[in-house]
Structure 1
Amino acid sequence: MSERSDPRLDVILSEIKRVDDVDLSEGPAYGKHRDMVGSPFAFFRGTVSLYYRDLKDGTLPVEVSRKSLTRIQGDCHLENLGFLTEGGAWAGPDWVHFCPNDYDDAGVGYAEWDLVRYATSLFLAADRARCDDDGTYVNWPLDRLHDSPGFEAARGAAKRFFKRYRKTCAAVADDPIECWEAVIRGFKSKHFLADYEEKARDRAVRGDDFTSKSKLAKAADLESDEPRFKPKDGRIERLTGARADEVRAAFAPYVDDTICDVAIRHGAGLGARHADRYYLLVGPDATDREGDDWRKLLELYHLVEIKEQRPPGFLAHFPEIDPANRMPWAHLVIDSQRLMQRHPDRVLDEVVWEGSHWLVRTRHNSKVSPDAEDLADGDLADNLRDHAKASGMAVALAHARSDKRSVRFETHMAERLSKQAIRELVGVAERYAAQVIHDWARLRRLLDERDLIA
């Protein structure tokens, strides 16, 4: 059987074409799609809509009920949880905590969608951790995936993820006011996440590495006498002239200081790399600085991202779940983020500009999270368990904050996740992870045989 007669491959290609407007059956793979065939985990990250198509048609069977509807992250996986400064870029080290760090696919959905997606990512991240010294992915034989060390380690981690989620929901149901204000931080030195927390604290305002390793320090040209971006070949390009003036005029009302410089960002992210993005360098202008060197006032500056928003990954396949999902896409994202965060970012808004809806949001100075490859540094099973337990609590708190009128949701989820249900969901996630790896192999084989990887 040839690849093109494979119905599953047709599904994969059609979903990629629908979302990204790229026909990988004929044209070469560039950028995002080239990266996607690097590993099954990268494929999983880049095809969030395929996950929801599989939920819709039963390829991924997950039982849900309306009682589990809440605001969901939408693209919940291992690399989309990490450390950041709560409230925005202005915050210092004491505001760093572990939480969801990406809301681009957020909206109203079933909690199980986030849970199964994260659990699936544990298997795929463990699989991705198997790599050469240069980081190149080394795949396990497809016919023995379930016997691989990565899958064995991920089973235990997935079980602990669901158990910690259940425990947190029960705690919220018992004492919601205290739990809604809970944060996850202060990991002990041997914990897998401890070093990442320390890095995030160091890069926050007033942290030891703020002036050298923060997002602001890396993006701004600290050699310049005026606040401006540092051009990076192929990634960040400064805008000048009429286009920069148009961006300033459109977005100045939505930021908290003067827009000192404008840049366009090329090739950001994996799931939505085709979306247009601009960066703003925001802070005091020359008048407000009163002659002071802007670099001595660096903590008063921050980055703001302007991103053309696309629909969340689930929406095409589940358009009628809740009326809230009919909001403009950018509004849905910021509405969900404000509900799910304990203290939302200071700069978080939407703007209708040039016929599209745009997100306006803070670029956190100290957004730090482990990559899947980092799991191989030390004991894989221990690292997975550490991440899974922290994530179970973080996702539960985000879900729970979505509706503070009652604890009906938390009570339901604590009851829903019985021991038997957890065993079944872990099995569902493992089987789907194997499906993803086979899907990745299908796409990789097609592109390799046709020499379409540019």
Structure 2
Amino acid sequence: MNNRMTENVIVTRNKLRRDTLISVLDEFDGKMMQLDADKRAEKYRKMSQSAFSFFRGSAYLFYFDATRHYFPYHTPVDRPTWIQGDLHFENFGAFRNESGDIVYDVNDFDEGYVGSYLYDVLRMSVSIALVARQLGYDQAQQLDVLEHYARCYYKQIHRFAHKKDDPGKFVMDEKHASGPVRKLLRKLEKRRQGHFLEKVTAVMQSDRVFLENSELVVPSAHEQQLLEQAWSGYQQTLLCCEDDVNHYNIKDIAIKHGSGTASIGLDRYYVLIEGGTAQQGNDDLVLEVKEVRAPVPAYFLPYSESFWQTFVQQGKRVTTTQQAMHHHADAYLGYMTLDGRDFYVRERSPYKKRLKLEHITDTDCMNKILSVMGSLTAKMHARADSDLSSGILDYHSEREIAKAMGNKPDGFVQHISRWAYGYADQVEKDYALFCDWSSSFQASTAASDSAPIEQ
């Protein structure tokens, strides 16, 4: 093939991929999420920060591609796993659980659904490759950390399947963690309960209220009324309620801006509740009320009638997913409906914290982190089955996954790591196409905003 023909092939392939990319963005951000031009421009500015940011904000593109690719390690269609649905490096973090312990675990369940476990493992693995590239790892180092994650997942699933570990009791606290994760947990043990409260509230005329700034805005009277009317219904969804009827009293409400990438366009509120009366406002609690819609994997994975019959309310789906996957879930985890839209509620933990990339000093340090993440990925897949009273699966997921992966890890580990490395290449190419297109999209949005209004 001569140089001109080669160039034509490359140009055509890029054009076709760019058209696919734009079509998927238009379908999900435009038609499904119904984001207006300003919201789309805001989302795309965040996604333009890095290839990893782009990957975080385009889960639908990942599923569009991955569900069209053959993998030999899927569980049978009639033996799905309850999956997290949007697993990536930054969806792990530290927080305080229902028992008051500070733990490290998966902390985002908005996309929870049923399907092959492999999609969680694949999406997580691609994110590892992208993070490794941000850290400057070469190809050999990237493959090394990818293999390490896949092997840790494989080993932990087999430990659960052979009853060497109990997923119902598996917890990653300071005692069981290592490396940077242990350091993070130790640091948070010293943090005061009021740390976050003091960042977002102030005491005004002897009562505590939210601060007003670019991220916290006073809601309209209609929004305030909707939340107050739905509050008793939310309390009825809690697994365990406080005896003190004043515990859940609303003291203040704020609209929360500036969080997330994929969740742009969905409403989010902070609600300040009494918590207790003994400490004169210092034991107040901040709850987060977040809008949620149908999970992205549902558009691509096999349809489950029983799942949708159980989880018509999307907030219930998210809270049940978290309760199933965590050993001790957030005591304030519940859900509500506001004006026909589904929301879930959780505590905005004062101990919420992610690992920072600058704390990952070398590949050995990275592998210690991935040992934790691989084990936790296996734990959440193994927990969310018939072991739970709320489980919708009548079999043990870990046994089905272990069977699908086979008796020897090498084939599974190599297949996952090589595919993830290759797809990370595709993400970087897509990111370049996206940046070129989104810059013109944002420019046209800015131009329309500044255009004079005709009289």
TM-score, structure 1 normalization: 0.82
Change in CA separation of 1:45 and 1:224 when aligned onto 2, cut-off 3 Å? farther
1:110 is the counterpart of 2:119: no
Runs of 4 or more above 4 Å deviation: 1-5, 26-29, 60-63, 187-190, 405-408, 448-451
**Partner AA of 1:49 in structure 2:** Y
Q: Is the 8 A contact 1:97 1:184 kept in 2?
A: yes
Q: How many residues align?
A: 410
Find the aligned partners of 2:395 and 2:365 in 1 and give their Cα distance.
Answer: 32
**Partner AA of 1:403 in structure 2:** D
Q: How does 1:193-272 map to 2 (within 5 A)?
A: 193-203=181-191, 209-212=192-195, 214=196, 216-222=197-203, 225-233=206-214, 235-239=215-219, 241-255=221-235, 257-272=248-263
Q: CA deviation at 1:176?
A: 6.9
Q: Is the 8 A contact 1:166 1:413 kept in 2?
A: no
Find the aligned partners of 2:155 and 2:442 in 1 and give their Cα distance.
Answer: 50
Structure-2 residue corresponding to 1:446: 437
Identify which of 11, 26, 29 aligns with 1:17: 26
Q: Compare relative contact order (CA 8 Å, sep 6+) and give the higher one, 1 or 2.
A: 1
Q: CA deviation at 1:423?
A: 0.6
Structure-1 residue corresponding to 2:75: 65
Q: How does 1:342-421 map to 2 (within 5 A)?
A: 342-371=327-356, 373-374=357-358, 377-379=360-362, 381-405=363-387, 408-417=396-405, 418-421=409-412
**Partner AA of 1:43 in structure 2:** F
Find the aligned partners of 2:249 and 2:442 in 1 and give their Cα distance.
Answer: 49
1:315 is the counterpart of 2:307: no
Consecutive unaligned residues of structure 1, counting only runs of 5 or more, are: 131-148, 204-208
**Partner AA of 2:382 in structure 1:** A
**Partner AA of 1:384 in structure 2:** M
Q: CA deviation at 1:21?
A: 1.5
Q: CA deviation at 1:303?
A: 1.4
Deviation string, structure 1 residues 38-90 (Cα, Å, up to 9, x no partner): 101000000011111112233x7564122762111111011001111112xxx
**Partner AA of 1:383 in structure 2:** C
Q: CA deviation at 1:241?
A: 4.1
Change in CA separation of 1:423 and 1:251 when aligned onto 2, cut-off 3 Å? same
Q: Is the 8 A contact 1:221 1:228 kept in 2?
A: yes
Deviation string, structure 1 residues 110-137 (Cα, Å, up to 9, x no partner): 111100111111001112235xxxxxxx
Find the aligned partners of 2:211 and 2:38 in 1 and give their Cα distance.
Answer: 34
Change in CA separation of 1:165 and 1:407 when aligned onto 2, cut-off 3 Å? farther
**Partner AA of 1:46 in structure 2:** G
**Partner AA of 1:352 in structure 2:** T
Deviation string, structure 1 residues 318-338 (Cα, Å, up to 9, x no partner): 251463145222222122111
Structure-2 residue corresponding to 1:83: 94
Q: CA deviation at 1:223?
A: 5.9
Give the fraction of aligned pairs with identical amino acids, expressed as a percent.
23
**Partner AA of 1:251 in structure 2:** W
- SS of the equivalent of 2:412 reads helix
Q: CA deviation at 1:163?
A: 1.6
Structure-2 residue corresponding to 1:144: none
**Partner AA of 2:345 in structure 1:** V
Q: CA deviation at 1:313?
A: 1.3
Change in CA separation of 1:8 and 1:343 when aligned onto 2, cut-off 3 Å? same
Q: Is the 8 A contact 1:158 1:426 kept in 2?
A: yes
Q: Is the 8 A contact 1:168 1:393 kept in 2?
A: yes
1:273 is the counterpart of 2:264: yes
Find the aligned partners of 1:446 and 1:420 in 2 and give their Cα distance.
Answer: 39
1:99 is the counterpart of 2:105: yes
Q: Is the 8 A contact 1:325 1:332 kept in 2?
A: no
Consecutive unaligned residues of structure 2, counting only runs of 5 or more, are: 1-7, 236-246, 388-393, 447-455
TM-score, structure 2 normalization: 0.81
Q: Is the 8 A contact 2:218 2:253 kept in 1?
A: yes
**Partner AA of 1:119 in structure 2:** S
- SS of the equivalent of 1:54 reads helix
Find the aligned partners of 2:82 and 2:96 in 1 and give their Cα distance.
Answer: 21
Q: CA deviation at 1:408?
A: 4.2
Find the aligned partners of 2:88 and 2:305 in 1 and give their Cα distance.
Answer: 23
For the aligned residue pairs, the C-alpha RMSD in angstroms reads 3.0
1:341 is the counterpart of 2:326: yes
Change in CA separation of 1:391 and 1:407 when aligned onto 2, cut-off 3 Å? farther
Deviation string, structure 1 residues 273-322 (Cα, Å, up to 9, x no partner): 211111100115xxx73xx6624xx23x2111112211111111225146
- SS of the equivalent of 1:315 reads helix
Change in CA separation of 1:35 and 1:218 when aligned onto 2, cut-off 3 Å? same
Structure-1 residue corresponding to 2:425: 434
1:124 is the counterpart of 2:141: no
- SS of the equivalent of 2:86 reads coil
Identify which of 40, 48, 51 aligns with 2:59: 48
Find the aligned partners of 1:40 and 1:55 in 2 and give their Cα distance.
Answer: 18
Q: CA deviation at 1:385?
A: 0.9
Q: CA deviation at 1:260?
A: 0.7
Find the aligned partners of 2:233 and 2:395 in 1 and give their Cα distance.
Answer: 38
